[in-house]
Structure 1
């Protein structure tokens, strides 16, 4: 079995512990945490599993990497600490580990990543013999392999639209939701994630991946942005109160332009409460989130995926499926040559050996 470390125990890390424990080819051997309050706690407790897994959380990075793990699921956030995340991932690769992570947006399309990000990782691979696969927590499969798979079912394809429709009211990452995305701030606040060119920096790699797979050349990428204010104050379970008149919903697109027309589009519709912007796309059952692929062509095809996890944390299903894609790639990556990989390299894989392994 492949010795596997989970680094970070937030929204992604909790799901990663469960996914590693359920995978027949992987063995959870360490959990790395930052918070002193989590050190010494059993991994099952941190992941919301019953019983004990016999793996206690530690903050000793050197000791964990010195044990030469086969794989690291890097689940620590890269949103507010991209340089630190890059350094951490490089350390794990130099230790010889296969690393899977959603933390480095620019590595979604690793072939075209900026040299200042890619070059240190290439050097780490050469030094330590590890590998890296980055896929989005939004989740990545909804913006690459799923639309590409569905596109092959049609006779003609005019456009591909990938939608994430998300309710942040139960999401456990307040700094990102409030400050990066701007929920709860006055409408004249300029959130970093919505600044011009930033959405393209984050999701443009997935547009390029799809264009490469479809055999088309992109003329350009464009962005659109809409924001809505809350009509009334709302309270959330995980992030407290949001005042009327502050930002309550965001809708933006990153458009891949082919022949002067938007042909490959990634769209995000996010709210802090379902009452805001009710005329925008919503999940079919009014739930917390959905991921939708729309193929405009002949025939027109629409596929919506909804996932739920963690009980009251209704937004955790998307994280869990994103983690499933990452963790499910580990044994393939271990068998492959060291290097940097993207979503087009990693095959779609069935849940072989996982049926009936769920632990609550």
Structure 2
């Protein structure tokens, strides 16, 4: 069994605890939390289980890493604290752990990653013998392995589009939804996540990674952005009211330009309520989330994936599949050479030993 730590118990961390507990090759060694209110609580309670896992949450990072866990799922956010998240991950890699995380956007594409992100990780690998694999929580597989797989089904490919279509009404991360993305703010508010160059900073690595896999040369990466206000106030179960006239929907694209045309596109269509921007793409059955890959070419191929978790919640389902990609890579990484890995290195593998497992 591979002793595995889950670091963070928010939307991603809860799913990570469940995924580690379900994996036949992993054992939950510790759960690290930041909030003092969570210290001492059982991991099963924090993950939403109806049973105890007999692992108490702790805030003592030094003690947990001193025990030399073989793997760490770093589920703490890097949105507002990218430098701190990188420092945490480097610390765990230096302690000899295989680390998987969605928090470090810059490392989605290890070859194109900026030196200030890549070099500390490589130094920690050399010093401690750990590894790092980063894949997105949006989820990463929908912007790398799935579109690349689908691209191989046709005879010609003109363009690849990856869509995340998401209704935030059931999401439980108010700071990010309101302040990073701008939902509920006046239309003159400038959301940090939508500022020029930020979408490229976050998703550009996935564009570059797909271009590398497809053996094409990018001219550049461009962005587009549309925002819509709410026609009337709406109330959500997890985040309260969003006033009429405030931002209610966002649509943006990160476009990989090849020979002057957008050929590799990552598009996000997000709302706080389905009534806002009804003319924009929506999940096929009117649900609250879907991930879609469209390969334009011959033949044209369109694949839509809908996932649910935590009482049929699709926002949680997206997190759970992103976490599944990461957690299910741990045993492969443990058997691989120490290093920095990305989605082109780490295979997507069958759920061996987990069919029918509770």
Aligned equivalents of 1:17, 1:249: Cα separation in 2: 32
Total equivalences in the alignment: 358
Greater Cα offset, 308-317 or 182-191: 308-317
Deviation of the 1:314 alpha carbon: 3.7
Q: Equivalences for 1:245-264 in 2 at 5 Å?
A: 245-264=245-264
Which residue matches 1:145?
145
CA distance in 1, matches of 2:126, 2:173: 35
Q: Name 1:123's counterpart in structure 2.
A: 123
In 1, Cα distance between the equivalents of 2:107 and 2:284? 32
| Change in 2 beyond 3 A, CA 1:328/1:290 | same
Q: What are the within-5 Å matches in structure 2 for residues 1-150 of structure 1?
A: 1-150=1-150
2:238 paired with 1:234: no
How far is the alpha carbon of 1:157 from its aligned partner? 0.5
2-structure distance, mates of 1:54, 1:108? 34
Scaled by the length of structure 1, the TM-score of the pair is: 0.98
Contact 2:306 2:314 in 1 (8 A): no
Q: Can you list the C-alpha shifts for 1:75-129, whole angstroms capped at 9, x where unaligned?
A: 0000011111111101100110000000010110121111111111111111111
Equivalent-residue separation in structure 2 for 1:129 and 1:115 (angstroms): 20
CA RMSD of aligned residues (A): 0.8
Give the match for residue 217 of structure 2. Answer: 217
Aligned partner of residue 352 in structure 2, secondary structure: coil
SS at match of 2:111: helix
| Residues 170 and 312, structure 1, Cα contact 8 Å, conserved in 2 | no
Residues 269 and 280 in structure 1, CA contact (< 8 A), matched pair in contact too = yes
In terms of mean alpha carbon deviation, does 89-98 or 308-317 score higher?
Answer: 308-317
User: Which segments of 5 or more consecutive residues in structure 2 lack a partner in the other structure?
Assistant: none
Structure 1 residue ranges (4+ consecutive) displaced by more than 3 angstroms after TM superposition: none
Alignment partners' CA distance in 2, 1:28 and 1:104: 23
Paired residue for 2:293?
293
Q: Deviations over 1:21-75 (max 9, x none)?
A: 0001100010000111111111111111121111110101111001000000000
TM-score in terms of structure 2 length: 0.99
SS at match of 1:110: coil
Partner of 2:315: 315
Conserved 8 A contact 2:222-2:254: yes
Partner of 2:349, secondary structure, is coil
Q: Which residue number in structure 2 is paired with residue 355 of structure 1?
A: 355
Q: Deviations over 1:187-246 (max 9, x none)?
A: 011111101111011101000111111110001111100000000001111111100000
For 2:295 and 2:236, the matched residues in 1 are separated by 35
- Deviation per residue, 1:309-342 (Å, 9 max, x gap): 1116441000000000000100111111111000
